[in-house]
Structure 1
Amino acid sequence: MNYEITAFSSFGICRADSSKTTFTAAEDTNQCFFEMNVTFDHWEDEFYLLMPACAYNGNRYEKVKRSYPPMYKPEETDRQLITDVPALAPDGSGIIEVTAGDMSVPCVCVLNPKEKQAFMLFTKQEIKGENLGFRVEKGRITVSYPANRTTAYRFCREHETNCDSGIAVKKGETFTLEHKIVSFPCENIIALFTCFFKNRKCLLSGPRPENLYTDALWDMQEDKFNSYNYSGEYYAEITKIWQCGWCGGAISSLPLFMCGNALSKERAINTLDYLFAHQANSGFFYGYIKNGITEDDSFHTPGMEHLHMIRKSADVLYHLFRHFRVMNPKPHWITGTKKCADAFVTLFQQFGTFGQFINIETGELVVKSSTAGAMAIGGLALAWEFFGEPVYLETAKRACDFYYHRDIENGVTTGGPGEILGAPDSESAFAMLESCVTLFEVTKEEKWLRYAESCAHLAASWVVTYPYLFPKNSEFYRLGINTVGSVFANIQNKHSAPGICTLSGDSLYKLWRYTGNHEYLELIKDIAFFIPQCVSTKKRPIYSWDDTPKLLPEGFICERVNMSDWEGKQNIGGVFCCSCWCETSLLLTFTELMCYDEMKR
């Protein structure tokens, strides 16, 4: 791709070349900015734009303004929507303005599919404690030192304008900031992500956190689940609201049964009994039960009654078979599991997709365009292994081909969480990886291993590669949190998080074993080792960002790893007082990964 590099500043002399940007101040000032620009000879509408964990194909979807949690309206179910996040328009026009903290690694990648050429620009995170800024528009990438956004994204509320501050400089002061450009022939989007995967640590990286998985940590976490998370009938989040799949319902019971004490094993069995007592006639599982009353997943949106987030039942189907490997399933569990598998087969046969939301009572598809049901592929593959009925494997293969060609080959998976509309997210990418590895395991067909590697490269784009420099007044600076291995959630909820929602990521470990590619082992070790840092303990307590800070009780993990200022600059490196799904990911990591010697060092 042909491009020109230029530099500009109103505050001194600024020069840029292919490896660095240099600035020398002409005067003393407290509000200095300078920038480098990459301008392309031409930029076609079909160019693919990647900003890792921030923009996939430029986030070129129809945008709507919604309060949180956003939900589709009845007249919108036939199209894909996102909330008012940084994005290009569907036609490629517009501007994306973000900071380095909005990305897993500060990087902008562009693919010209017609000429099969790609371009990648990697930078550092900050200058003098202030994040760099990125502005991308048709034909131009601008890196601002520091960020100098016209409009700053604020979560489900009015965005801020002109909120960035420059840096203080003295006359004659010089800065040289390294960047790296990778320009190369590139066959397609799959090849783009393969190259990104190999280069994502080329400029900004660091040692991962140390391994903090100890017997004492397991005991603390198990005690916490039995003290806070058991409702009297089932394991859930500390709210005691039942949500199967997604945030941990009928998932946390697996590690607690595998490695827990007698009480935990008994309660894990009770959890599955509760699950099967709340299965709809459609075969899918009721996904939201509060105070014993079944509700839907519509967030009370008029006209969307009986809505079910398909990801919940997909997660459950997959994890049920993992439960059955370590416990003796009751007859009615087996019957109910087969009913759920049959419901997924019927759904795919009728609509050619699992969709994002269905009618829980009828099984009819409501919202179609999403990768949210990807975990059902792995679930159906395991259903074939368990029940021996060919239709399960046939459906799993057809669905995997469909999602791979529609989503992975086009460089984006969407809609995994239930409250982001159809936005790009990491959870559905990791679900696709898990399912592809499972398909390979049950069939031994190399095709699924090749698919799995492509999914891994896409999923890796959501994982932070370097120790983020937090503000010195932040809780994470005080704690010395090393962000290597934290996982961004999606483009709307712009925080990184401890772990994959809601998996251990053992599929990456298996991918290393099956391919011999050591990078997969390094990636899963990054992800796994990050999580324990975020557990509040007596020896290392974590406090909230409230005006009067609250102590997170022992064993609590907040999902927030705020590198972005999406919730305000004052909340970078801070948490609120909560307990969440990350604790389930921690338990899964204990049981599914820390059993391997390669993961312990």
Structure 2
Amino acid sequence: MLGWSGNTCAKQSELPAVLRPLNGGLQVSLMQYEGTDIRKILVFHGDVLTDGENVWQLTWNTKKSEDDGDAVELTCRLLKGRATNTALAVDFGFGKWSTDNYVMVPGIVYNGNRYRSIGNGYNPDYPKDMYFNPAVPVTISNSPRLSLPGNDISFLELATTNTAAPGMNFYAPAAGRSWFILTEQQTNLGNSGLYIFENKKRDSCTFRITAPAMRKSAAGFGDFHPSGDKAPDWSAGDETKLRFKICSKNSSGIPAHLQHFMAIRKTVTGPGQPRNLVPMSKLAQLGTDICRGNFIETKAGSYYLPENSRHFQLGWVSGMINTFPMLALNDSLERSRVARELDFITSEMQGRSGYFYGFISEDGKIGTEKAHPDFPMVQAMVRKNGDVLFWLMKHLMLLKDQGYGSIINSQWETAAQRLAAAFVKTWKQHGEFGQYIVPETGEMAVFNSSAGAIVPAGLALASGYFGKPEWLSVAESSAAFYYHRDVEQRGFNGGACGDISQDADSETAFGFLESLMALYRFTGKSIWLSRAEAQAALCASWTIAYDPVFPPGSAIGKLQGRMAGAVWASSQNKHAAPGVCTSSADHIFKLYRATGNSRYAELIRDIQHAHTEAVNMPGHITSNYRTGSSMERIQPSDAEGKGGTGNFIHTRNSWTETNGILMAIELPGIYARPGEGKWFVFDHIEAEKVSEGKNSLTLRLTNHTPYNAAVSVFAETARQAAKPMGYTAFSHWPKVSVPSGGEVIVQIMADGAVRTRPHKPITAN
């Protein structure tokens, strides 16, 4: 462990101006290993280091960047001799450290993961003290984390492939300052390592980058296993280049820190290079064809199959979400099927309290979730109930928009009102929504989680639909609470996934963004929009910022997959996924539309394209199921063993298929503001501006994919964009046909109309 007083070494003293406001310093060393144990540390006190017959040289190439940072290329070369099992390390040390500092490694560590942990594996059982206990502390799975007070050792070790953007950062409230270190995934020595060490007194902390990664243990899904990392041998003339960027900025709090991170997250790795593989309309057609074939009748009821089971579960990954795109087809058969599923859900799965049970077997047996032997009552996920309220309201709104309000069963509306009232009652009793509830009684079984992050969205929609202003008031109060506690104080949302503890997770983050944008939609208050921008930055921290390098022999490597935009699941489940579980994340598009900030458009474009990379297509095999299917694992890390890196699990997940369809229908293929010079392409086509007039924009659309495209176009004026977008706008977007291998000239009018000229085949250059 290194102690720091703000001093630096020789030539290196020119670098850390961005470190000094935080009592920081920099040190470069060589570490010699026996296995993964350090046996000797050689510190550079200048640009040349001599160790016996070995002579090493450092070369610095430093450039000041526009975002208050230093971009560095550090070259380490063995001039003379031979060295075995040696790695390069760059340490950034900080004195006057405090455990109040917010520490984040994007996609895996939030607030240092400095919380009580349980279990030693995937989805550990909750101990008895977590039930019916309002004072329960945040409790996470066994993952990399800085220690709680009282522990002698506090450190974590990661590889760059554990992260959404290789690097580490912290916010120091006492200094009002943020600090960031960003680096590349790998050097010529392999993937690099990221380490954070606190001393015993917790008054100093070191952030370390190594080339290559030299961890003792690799993090799994709630456990650890030997890393198998190996330090390289060096011969005279060998060298490695480690590129990194240091930034330090004034910050007013964690939300500002997160927004700083979003602004710079791609500056070292560079942006991803998305490929146009399959038009969104083709994805929608394939996905809905799969779902059509999975409608079944069981003893329990009639429903579209969830995941790979004949049993049924609500929300999260299936029920009452996968029905929405089927309803959007505006097809009489699927509309009748959706109605039958809604009849089944509202008649068989709602408890006496108004809350819904989360699971029912095909034989009609209600199942429990996260139960304890001492508490045998049936429990359900709060997150699932939040999904039910939100998506049930969207179904009702879409039916009315389609002109089929007359088929709405009063039972569906009654069920929605009972559920909304249950949430309102819980809020008034406890000032939170909790993580698990008892549907029969409405009791909160597990407290102190962000699992209810999407509930304010559901309450806002229900308030507008049923004319209940009190529900909107509760939606605002609860969202303000979750924003203050989870975003401003903790710097993460967590606990909404059904297979984790109360770990930080992406699903809750995106769910809360849905709520913030819903409140902006129904109140028009700018505070919800500004909070949504901070929340979107948190969501971006879960989203891979660049195209990771996968092993060339892996499935993704062979496909040359470009996975910028894949979304890390949770700090426990260390894999990325093709999309947001389970949502189109069109709230990010709505945020882009409301702010004009292109970073949001790029974020949702990245997510959609990474999803398409995981879709099973001819010549692009990703699952063992039919064309158009997909699965939830995109694995850049060795959390499932080195053999798992870059390899798909050959199954399918209906939720990834569902969010693919949702993205295809709820995101426009092209968004345009004719006459204002603003347009953005989300679909898998290329667009080139031909001309632009006062009220029109003419584009040449080119489709290089093997599939015909029907590209939806959403055009409007700045005045129209100032009004928040509704939840059924997608059903009114015109579509432009662009055949495979063809070009189309389209004139997009400010009133939303489109005019096309006959297509022609693409001419070769």
Structure 1 length normalisation: TM-score?
0.94
Aligned partner of 2:614 among 534, 547, 559: 534
What secondary structure does 1:33 align onto?
strand
Amino acid of the structure 1 residue aligned with 2:177? Q
Q: Residue 427 of structure 2 aligns with which residue?
A: 348
Q: 1:301: how far off? A: 5.2
The answer to whether 1:510 aligns with 2:581 is: no
**Structure 2 gap segments, 5+ residues each:** 1-21, 33-54, 61-69, 199-204, 400-404, 672-679, 686-765
Contact in 2 for aligned 1:126/1:146 (Cα 8 Å): yes
Q: 1:68: how far off? A: 3.1
Contact in 1 for aligned 2:123/2:501 (Cα 8 Å): no
Contact in 1 for aligned 2:115/2:138 (Cα 8 Å): yes
Contact in 2 for aligned 1:7/1:16 (Cα 8 Å): no
Q: Residue 629 of structure 2 aligns with which residue?
A: 556
Q: What is the identity percentage for the equivalent residue pairs of Structure 1 and Structure 2?
A: 31
The answer to whether 1:250 aligns with 2:320 is: yes
Contact in 2 for aligned 1:22/1:176 (Cα 8 Å): yes
Q: Residue 226 of structure 2 aligns with which residue?
A: 161
Aligned partner of 2:444 among 365, 380, 385: 365
Q: 1:521: how far off? A: 1.1
Aligned partner of 1:5 among 5, 18, 26: 26
Contact in 2 for aligned 1:74/1:304 (Cα 8 Å): no
Q: Residue 102 of structure 2 aligns with which residue?
A: 48
CA–CA distance in 1 between the matches of 2:372 and 2:553?
39
- Give the 3 Å change call, closer, same or farther, for CA 305–205 of structure 1 in structure 2: farther
CA–CA distance in 1 between the matches of 2:640 and 2:295?
28
CA–CA distance in 2 between the matches of 1:341 and 1:319?
12
Aligned partner of 2:336 among 266, 274, 277: 266
Contact in 2 for aligned 1:21/1:36 (Cα 8 Å): no
Q: 1:397: how far off? A: 0.7
CA–CA distance in 2 between the matches of 1:419 and 1:107?
27
Q: Residue 548 of structure 1 aligns with which residue?
A: none
CA–CA distance in 2 between the matches of 1:187 and 1:80?
25
The answer to whether 1:311 aligns with 2:365 is: no
The answer to whether 1:24 aligns with 2:77 is: yes
Q: Residue 172 of structure 1 aligns with which residue?
A: 237
CA–CA distance in 1 between the matches of 2:313 and 2:76?
53
Q: 1:210: how far off? A: 2.8
Q: 1:29: how far off? A: 5.8
Q: 1:534: how far off? A: 0.6
Contact in 2 for aligned 1:69/1:299 (Cα 8 Å): no
What secondary structure does 1:250 align onto?
coil
User: CA RMSD of the aligned region, Å?
Assistant: 2.0
What secondary structure does 1:9 align onto?
strand
What secondary structure does 1:201 align onto?
coil
What secondary structure does 2:303 align onto?
coil
The answer to whether 1:474 aligns with 2:554 is: yes
Q: Residue 88 of structure 1 aligns with which residue?
A: 146
Per-residue deviation, residues 429-463 of structure 1 (Å, max 9, x unmatched): 11111101011111111111111111111111101
Contact in 1 for aligned 2:118/2:124 (Cα 8 Å): no
What secondary structure does 2:643 align onto?
helix
CA–CA distance in 2 between the matches of 1:356 and 1:156?
19
Q: 1:98: how far off? A: 0.6
The answer to whether 1:142 aligns with 2:208 is: yes
CA–CA distance in 1 between the matches of 2:334 and 2:172?
54
Structure 2 length normalisation: TM-score?
0.75
Q: Residue 201 of structure 1 aligns with which residue?
A: 266
Aligned partner of 1:591 among 665, 680, 693: 665
CA–CA distance in 2 between the matches of 1:32 and 1:556?
45
- Give the 3 Å change call, closer, same or farther, for CA 303–537 of structure 1 in structure 2: same
* Larger CA deviation: 17-26 vs 460-469: 17-26
Per-residue deviation, residues 126-146 of structure 1 (Å, max 9, x unmatched): 123621111101210111101
Amino acid of the structure 1 residue aligned with 2:125? M
Amino acid of the structure 1 residue aligned with 2:572? Q
Q: 1:76: how far off? A: 2.4
Q: 1:273: how far off? A: 1.5
What secondary structure does 1:181 align onto?
strand
Runs of 4+ in 1 over 6 A off after TM superposition: none
CA–CA distance in 1 between the matches of 2:568 and 2:600?
18
Q: 1:194: how far off? A: 1.1
* Larger CA deviation: 161-170 vs 253-262: 161-170
Contact in 2 for aligned 1:14/1:34 (Cα 8 Å): no
Q: Residue 107 of structure 1 aligns with which residue?
A: 167
Aligned partner of 1:290 among 324, 346, 361: 361
Q: 1:13: how far off? A: 2.5
CA–CA distance in 1 between the matches of 2:549 and 2:238?
22
* Larger CA deviation: 532-541 vs 194-203: 532-541
Q: 1:15: how far off? A: 3.8
Contact in 1 for aligned 2:222/2:573 (Cα 8 Å): no
CA–CA distance in 1 between the matches of 2:536 and 2:326?
27
Aligned partner of 2:282 among 216, 225, 230: 216
Contact in 2 for aligned 1:538/1:554 (Cα 8 Å): yes
Contact in 2 for aligned 1:414/1:425 (Cα 8 Å): yes
Q: Residue 547 of structure 1 aligns with which residue?
A: none
- Larger radius of gyration between Structure 1 and Structure 2: 2
Amino acid of the structure 2 residue aligned with 1:575? F
Q: 1:384: how far off? A: 0.9
- Give the 3 Å change call, closer, same or farther, for CA 13–385 of structure 1 in structure 2: same
Q: 1:275: how far off? A: 1.3
Q: 1:27: how far off? A: 4.4
Q: 1:523: how far off? A: 0.9
CA–CA distance in 2 between the matches of 1:16 and 1:350?
63
- Give the 3 Å change call, closer, same or farther, for CA 228–171 of structure 1 in structure 2: farther
Q: 1:372: how far off? A: 0.6
Q: 1:117: how far off? A: 1.7
CA–CA distance in 2 between the matches of 1:206 and 1:162?
29
Aligned length: 593
Aligned partner of 1:281 among 352, 364, 375: 352
Contact in 2 for aligned 1:222/1:260 (Cα 8 Å): no
Q: Residue 499 of structure 1 aligns with which residue?
A: 579
- Give the 3 Å change call, closer, same or farther, for CA 301–96 of structure 1 in structure 2: farther
Contact in 2 for aligned 1:241/1:290 (Cα 8 Å): yes
Q: Residue 415 of structure 2 aligns with which residue?
A: 336
Q: Residue 7 of structure 2 aligns with which residue?
A: none
The answer to whether 1:489 aligns with 2:564 is: no
Amino acid of the structure 2 residue aligned with 1:540? H
